[in-house]
Structure 1
Amino acid sequence: MNDVNTAFAQEKTDQLDAARTQARAFQDRIDRDEVERIGDDRYRVLTGWDRGEVFTVRRNAAGEAEEILAQHGLDTTTGTAALYTTTPAWHGLGTVIPGGTEDIDEVLKLARIDWQVVKKPALFEWDDGVRTAKGRHITVRSDTGAALGTVGDRYEVFQNARIFRFLQDLVEQRDAVWESAGALRGGRKVFVTMRIPKAIVIDRGGLDDEIVLYLAAVNSHDGTTSAESIVTPWRVVCGNTERFAVRDAPHRWGIRHTRGGLDNLEEARRNLGLTLAYAKAWEAEENQLVRTDLLIDDFHELIDNLWTLDDDATDAAKASARSRHDHLDGMFRDRARKLGRTAYTAERTLTDYLDHHLRVIPRHLGDDLARAQRALEGGTDDLKSQAHRQLLLRAR
């Protein structure tokens, strides 16, 4: 069996070896905002499904690249990364089908998530042998026998194929093209996305910042969360992940793992309709921000309003606030050189900071995987929403 991580590291080493002989080619990727350098030997991907992913270049004593280290979080328990996508990823993991496919069964197989989940009684050893834990069950992968989590009697397993069909039924589109699918954390979480046909364009004819909307479903098999449907935008040009500053409509809705949980389509369709209607209104608001000039002092005031500091704050808290303030100031000035000093640039700066620069918890996941989980679960949505509202008030 091939070691995926070794193959991945070797592939990236070969790529950087080629880049050394064609240094300008790699620099062109940076100039095109496909990859950015964020430290001495650290780079972040800005485009593709893996936008926001960070990789580190390990160098030898001569300064030559020896190994590339990355944390993608994909399930590799079967020896191959569990990922299907329509767009090639920079690290080459997963199966790429240009143009995508409409066949659910094919996507399940290509994404290596064509396994079932079964509930088994939870057992434990005691003095007189093995006993059954009343009311407790273990969710188990049918292909590897791996235990995924502990659940109760009422917990209903949502099979991976059922989540695909739920999204199909949700949009009432039997010929949906699947954009991506895969598994994370050993199969504990499974995701699938389809593209919503109509994109949003900010500052048409100017920045032409295109935001493509996706309808995604994230299913947990370990009993820790509900299944969720999410409308999420992907910023194609600059590659930031973000969610709407939602005020008036849900952008995600949970589906409890109970019998019939995936049958209530009408409520899900109502939420989807509200979110897509809000997305259109949000597009108009973003265009308003593009037309609003913003002084650097106004941006500083926005930072202070988002992260208020008590008068009796500790010296450590004050030092942390100064560090954050200086970091955001530098980010804003850098982006303003490309986008202009506007309210829109301020929002993009804050979104990027919250998605990729904010300290992550829990640390045991590894920084990049923890950031991905936080983005997936909407851990910074409130701050994004506050920033959007405050900037919109200035625009008006």
Structure 2
Amino acid sequence: MGHNLNFNEHTGKYSFFSVQQKAWHGLGQIVTDYPTSEEAIKHAGLDYEVIKSPLFTQSRAMTVGNAGELIEGTDTPVPNYFANIRTDSNAVLGVVGKDYHIVQNKDAFAFFDAIVGGGEGILYETAGALGNGERIFITAKLPGYIRVGKGEDVTEKYIFLTTSHDGSGSITAAFTPIRVVCQNTVNAALRNMSNVVRIKHTAGAKQRLEDAHKVMGLANIMSEQLEGIFNEWATVRITDNEVKKLIQLVLCPNKETYDLLKKGAEDELSTVFKNTVDDAFGYAMMSDTQQMDTTRGTLYGAYNAVTGYYQNVRNYKDSEAKLQSIVMGGTAQGKAQKAFELCSSFAKEGSGILLMN
């Protein structure tokens, strides 16, 4: 897989750090202890600032001097547009409008510190910059766990944040639980409660970023509710055939495929779709993490079959594509949400929600 990590020519290091785990593509810094926010910024090479600089264009008109020489045209300011410039390298990160408000990297870490008060309990696990430093990302572990069964099946609670300095997208902070035994990202939005906060880069962005921890305080509420739901699912039995049907419904790419599934015409399904389902079903049946008391033959195991497939089986063109798919609202996150909704219905209504015969 390729990478797009920023390489800082001043330090000779890639802008990325992780705690104890192998760094991205073997690049970046591995640290043994969880750092403070100030240490994390330096480990990740994010200790730079961004400024808005007036944007100019050079006139194509040429004038002739007294001696007959050609003189280049003058610089003409571009009204209401600015270049975002990284101050340590003078790299241009993007072009933005007059209302765009820069959220400095240190402010992103301040957001995390504010969640639990003064940074106590926040564990910074990874952070880095992509491209020329126009996009940064941070993952931090929150105190406590989501425990399923007798406590041996543990899910850790994370918040993932990404922001950009190039004018694209919004500041995004997502509550992202990760099941420890298989590193599955358990992204599920409860009814009337999103696990994502998005903040626009406008004049009030910095203030809203500081206030976002109030919204992300819902992480505790979501954790409690998810723990209850997952423990319930761990007691709901589901047959292997029902697991496969659920996987088919979740991975169904279009209405045509859905109609074929509904009428039981599996012979007419595309080879690509059948192979994808077989890969996910194989993971559901054979992965060691699917043989635990909490997952073997249970609805909780069926849900983890989908999240585990996208995390541990499916191929992605590069690490950024995987990150986008699993954490930043891409395909895997959408499929996990669909699986969550189907499992919720199954728990209440039984196999009748699996429309195939």
TM-score normalised over the length of structure 2: 0.79
Distance 2:311 2:255 in 1: 22
Distance 1:168 1:132 in 2: 40
| 2:323 is the alignment partner of 1:390 | no
Matches within 5 A, 1:45-84: 70-78=1-9, 79-84=12-17
In structure 1, the partner of 2:236 is 292
Which among 312, 315, 328 is matched to residue 280 of structure 2?
A: 328
Shift of 1:210: 1.5
User: Over residues 131-151 of structure 1, what are the superposed CA-to-partner deviations in whole Å (9 max), with x where a residue is unaligned?
Assistant: 332222221211222221121
Does structure 2 retain, via aligned residues, the 8 Å contact 1:213–1:233? yes
Which among 315, 322, 326 is matched to residue 371 of structure 1?
A: 322
In structure 1, the partner of 2:28 is 94
- What is the CA RMSD across the aligned residues, in angstroms? 2.7
Shift of 1:274: 2.4
Aligned length, in residue pairs: 318
User: Over residues 342-381 of structure 1, what are the superposed CA-to-partner deviations in whole Å (9 max), with x where a residue is unaligned?
Assistant: 2222211111233455575xxxxx4332122222312133
Shift of 1:303: 3.0
User: Over residues 281-306 of structure 1, what are the superposed CA-to-partner deviations in whole Å (9 max), with x where a residue is unaligned?
Assistant: 11111122222222122123213433
In structure 1, the partner of 2:309 is 353
Q: In the alignment, residue 133 of structure 1 is paired with which amino acid? A: V
Distance 1:99 1:271 in 2: 29
Does structure 1 retain, via aligned residues, the 8 Å contact 2:157–2:178? yes
Shift of 1:184: 2.0
Shift of 1:317: 7.0
Q: In the alignment, residue 243 of structure 2 is paired with which amino acid? A: F
Q: Cα gap change, 1:197/1:321 in structure 2, threshold over 3 Å: closer, same or farther?
A: same
SS class of match (2:221): helix
In structure 2, the partner of 1:190 is 136
User: Over residues 282-333 of structure 1, what are the superposed CA-to-partner deviations in whole Å (9 max), with x where a residue is unaligned?
Assistant: 11111222222221221232134331542788x9973332222222222222
Distance 1:189 1:316 in 2: 44
Does structure 1 retain, via aligned residues, the 8 Å contact 2:53–2:82? yes
Distance 2:3 2:195 in 1: 25
Q: Cα gap change, 1:109/1:270 in structure 2, threshold over 3 Å: closer, same or farther?
A: closer
Which among 39, 42, 47 is matched to residue 106 of structure 1?
A: 39
Does structure 1 retain, via aligned residues, the 8 Å contact 2:19–2:34? yes
SS class of match (1:258): coil
Shift of 1:158: 0.8
SS class of match (1:217): strand
Does structure 1 retain, via aligned residues, the 8 Å contact 2:161–2:174? yes
Shift of 1:201: 1.6
Distance 1:177 1:322 in 2: 41
Show structure 1 runs of 5+ residues with no match: 1-69, 361-365
Q: In the alignment, residue 298 of structure 1 is paired with which amino acid? A: E
Q: Cα gap change, 1:89/1:161 in structure 2, threshold over 3 Å: closer, same or farther?
A: same
Matches within 5 A, 1:258-277: 258-264=202-208, 268-277=212-221
Show structure 2 runs of 5+ residues with no match: 62-72, 261-266, 349-357
Distance 2:220 2:241 in 1: 35
Q: Cα gap change, 1:387/1:71 in structure 2, threshold over 3 Å: closer, same or farther?
A: same
Matches within 5 A, 1:239-258: 239-258=183-202
Shift of 1:275: 3.1
Distance 1:82 1:119 in 2: 22
Q: Cα gap change, 1:359/1:237 in structure 2, threshold over 3 Å: closer, same or farther?
A: closer
Greater Cα radius of gyration, structure 1 or 2: 2
Distance 2:220 2:193 in 1: 9
Shift of 1:337: 4.7
User: Over residues 118-175 of structure 1, what are the superposed CA-to-partner deviations in whole Å (9 max), with x where a residue is unaligned?
Assistant: 1123333441234332222221211222221121111011111111112222332344
Distance 2:58 2:186 in 1: 47
Does structure 1 retain, via aligned residues, the 8 Å contact 2:50–2:87? yes
State, as a whole percentage, how many aligned pairs show the same letter. 27
Q: In the alignment, residue 101 of structure 1 is paired with which amino acid? A: P
